[in-house]
């Protein structure tokens, strides 16, 4: 899959393979992370598969990925939620953040990441190639555990959380 390379102002600068985007210190590319919230105001988080090259078996948002060539983030979000969780939802963009972080000596994330949030009903069917486990957690509980056990969580989760209840 070819990802969309961008500058820090989100202007497209070309394309590169997913693998190349995550090598060394990473190439800046578009990404998204999304949160599903239930009627108890809990957030669905997932534990990443052991097959993930970066941050395997780490807890993260409900799902995350990248748009590919010819796709915008919203199109990619709709496709990805169905692929990872077997759901269809209305998700709204709440914000965007930039980050760059290395994982051991294996590779890095270097992303301009849009954050999507929405409520969703329906039976979740996890794709075991992508997701090991899911759980519903309260925001305060999650923030406390991230502070106490940061290594359990993917690094993009904490900056993304500030957008979950944003008014936008």
Give the tens place of pLDDT for each residue, 72-107: 999 999 999 999 999 988 899 999 999 999 999 999
| pLDDT at site 57 | 98
Instruction: State yes or no: pLDDT of 168 exceeds 70.
Output: no
Please tell me the predicted confidence (pLDDT) of residue 122.
Answer: 83
Q: Which domains occur in the chain, in start order? A: 2-161 (3.90.79.10)
Indicate if the pLDDT at residue 121 is higher than 80. Answer: no
Residue 126 burial by CB count (10 A; 0-12/13-18/19+): exposed, middle or buried? middle
**Percent of the chain surpassing pLDDT 90:** 90
Query: How far from the centroid of its chain's Cα atoms is residue 100's Cα?
Result: 14
Average pLDDT over residues 135-143: 95
pTM for the structure as a whole: 0.95
pLDDT interval class at 37 (50, 70, 90):
very high
Higher pLDDT, 15 or 121: 15
Q: Tell me the backbone φ, ψ of residue 109, rounded to 5 degrees.
A: -100, 135
Q: What end-to-end distance do the CA atoms of the chain give, in Å?
A: 31
Backbone phi, psi, residue 157, to 5°: -65, -50
Q: Taking 70 as the threshold, does the pLDDT of residue 109 lie above it?
A: yes
**pLDDT value for 1:** 86
């Amino acid at each position: 899959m070819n990802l969309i390379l961008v500058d820090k102002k989100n202007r497209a600068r070309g394309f590169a393979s997913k693998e190349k985007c995550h090598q060394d210190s990473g190439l800046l590319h578009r990404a998204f992370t999304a949160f599903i919230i239930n009627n108890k105001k809990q957030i669905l988080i997932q534990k990443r598969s052991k097959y993930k090259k970066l941050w395997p078996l780490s807890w993260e948002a409900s799902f995350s990925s990248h748009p590919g060539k010819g796709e915008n983030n919203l199109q990619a979000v709709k496709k990805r939620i169905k692929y990872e969780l077997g759901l269809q939802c209305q998700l709204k963009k709440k914000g965007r953040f930039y980050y760059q972080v290395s994982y051991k000596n294996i590779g890095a994330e270097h992303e301009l990441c849009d954050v999507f949030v929405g409520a969703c009903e329906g039976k979740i069917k996890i794709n075991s190639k992508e997701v090991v486990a899911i759980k519903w957690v309260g925001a305060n509980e999650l923030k406390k555990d991230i502070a106490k056990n940061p290594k359990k969580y993917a690094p993009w989760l904490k900056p993304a959380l500030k957008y979950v209840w944003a008014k936008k």
